[in-house]
Amino acid sequence: MHADLPRQAHISWWMEEARADASFDASEPCPPLAGSSRSDVVILGGGYTGMWTAWFLKERDPSCDVLLLEADELCGSGPSGRNGGFCYGVWEDLETLVKFFGDADAVRVAEIAQRSVDEIETWLTTQGVDAWFTRAGHLTVATSAAQDGAWGPLVEEAARLGVAGGRFVELDQAAVRARCASSVFGAGLLQPQNATLQPARLALGLRKALLERGVRIHEASPVARFAEGPPVVVETRDGATVTAGRGVIGLGAWASSLPRFRRAVVPRGTYIVVTEPAPERLADIGWTGGEGLADWRTALHYLRTTPDGRIAFGAASAAVGVGVGLGPRLRYDERSVVKLIADLRRFFPSWNEVAIDAAWGGPMDITGRHLPSFGTLPGGAMHYGLGYAGGGVGPSHLGGKILSALALGIEDEHTSLPLVELDMMRFPREPFRSVGAALTQHAIVRKDEAEDRGGRADPLTMFVAKIPRRMGYELGP
């Protein structure tokens, strides 16, 4: 092990922080499922998707008996309790939405998805959950010459559709650096309506609200197999079973291990390091407004602050495909962590002396269209929601509305969105899928790193990095 490597957080620093605060939530893990049970709806996976679905099921039908199974020690132990906490909708995917759905539906999807940011804020307030919700905007900046003006096509598309006003604010370099002074930062794009939050506090807050509403949660209860029904029959690794009228799959990247989704979802690792608190250094660089920041690399950096003056700094990495799967490297990957720390110091040299407190990672669920998909499996009793590709904090709330409606047989404005029953593009068969994903992801990282150094990638690297897009996937440069 590298001598200077930070410790691996237990789940994430966010989860440690939330669980250490007894006034926030001192609840014990729920017991694993045992024996044979029945429920109206069984939910597989205790991330935001599964939990928001349970929440909206109870909202719409308080008598609905909901049972939720989570594999890990606690709900929110997956990406939902490990993410960067950037809370936004899908406006940044506007060009992709227009390409697949046309102008009117693209705007409809983006407007409805954005409502979730407002509704999460309201939910946190009404439920008394302090998840540090801070609406200070999402600021995406150029961190190399190659990224200059990268947001131009997005802003032009929004202007063409008449939806840019107030939503996208272009900032010049001086205005960006007034918000956060890094010599690496050029101009950027501010989306003022977006927020950051403490992701594990949201997850644990949701979990607590569900328990109070009578949702039966079983943790340390990994699902081993299920029959799609009807009826849906789910069996855990310990042999306990649930029979239910309806089932909901909220397994995120883990859905890629189900034969049905194997060619529709690819897990990709993304990692975060968090510094020790240094509020005086945050003040020195003027980053006191709470903005969430990201750059325009293909494998982007994302960074934010905490109320006690830390920087959390993350990026997507090359850990994908061959030999990685969903194993321990997706929780901690030395090479990715070393690179992250170097990039953090490059962005903010005045933080060189500030120690790194912890590091962790998790899998994103990447789909070919780079959009979340919701739907119903043949048989009509099992529904699924996945494919947020590193952007699910806001959209999983919309996912919960969609999946609860599908499970209750309700048709509404959410189930009529084109994200529902969206044909999921298939990735190539193994071993081509893993080998291809690894090669293109490495090329993307090489391209980004060449651009970080002020240069450009060589033609072969660019050729490989662009293969997914040439094959019709909304992935890569």
Task: At 405, give phi and psi (nearest 5°).
Answer: -65, -45
On whether the CB atoms of residues 477 and 456 are closer than 8 A, the answer is: no
Q: How far is the CB of 258 from ligand FAD (least distance, A)?
A: 9
**71 Cβ contact list (under 8 Å, min separation 6):** 45, 220, 221, 222, 223, 254
Which positions touch ligand FAD (CB under 6 A)? Answer: 44-50, 69-72, 77-80, 82-86, 222-223, 250-254, 270, 272, 302, 314, 361-364, 388, 390-394, 396
Nearer to ligand FAD, 47 or 247 (CB): 47
Q: Closest separation between CB of residue 460 and ligand FAD, Å?
A: 30
Give the nearest distance from C-beta 76 to ligand FAD in angstroms.
Answer: 7
Identity of the residue, 79 or 309, whose beta carbon is nearer to ligand FAD in the bound complex: 79
* Distance (Å) of CA 350 to CA 4, 6, 139, 284, 460: 19, 19, 21, 9, 37
Rank residues 42 and 146 by Cβ distance to ligand FAD and give the closer one: 42
291 vs 457 by CB, closer to ligand FAD: 291
**Nearest distance from residue 30's CB to ligand FAD, in Å?**
13
User: Judged by CB, which is closer to ligand FAD: 58, or 207?
Assistant: 207
Please report how close the Cβ of residue 68 comes to ligand FAD at its closest, in angstroms: 9
Other Cβ atoms within 10 Å of 273 Cβ, number: 28
Six-digit token string for 31: 């017991």
Choice between 54 and 163, CB closer to ligand FAD: 54
CA-to-CA dists, residue 261 to 94, 255, 348, 377, 422, angstroms: 25, 6, 41, 11, 13
Nearest Cα to Cα of residue 468 among 389, 394, 399, 392? 389
Counting Cβ atoms within 10 Å, is residue 369 exposed (0-12), middle (13-18) or buried (19+)? buried
Least CB distance from residue 457 to ligand FAD, whole Å? 25
Pick between residue 15 and residue 465 the one whose CB is nearest to ligand FAD. Answer: 15
122 Cβ contact partners less than 8 Å away, ≥ 6 residues apart: none
Least CB distance from residue 104 to ligand FAD, whole Å?
25
- Separation of alpha carbons 94 and 90, rounded Å: 7
Q: Render 141-182 in DSSP notation, one character per residue.
A: E--SGGGTTTTHHHHHHHHHTT--TTT-EEE-HHHHHHHS--
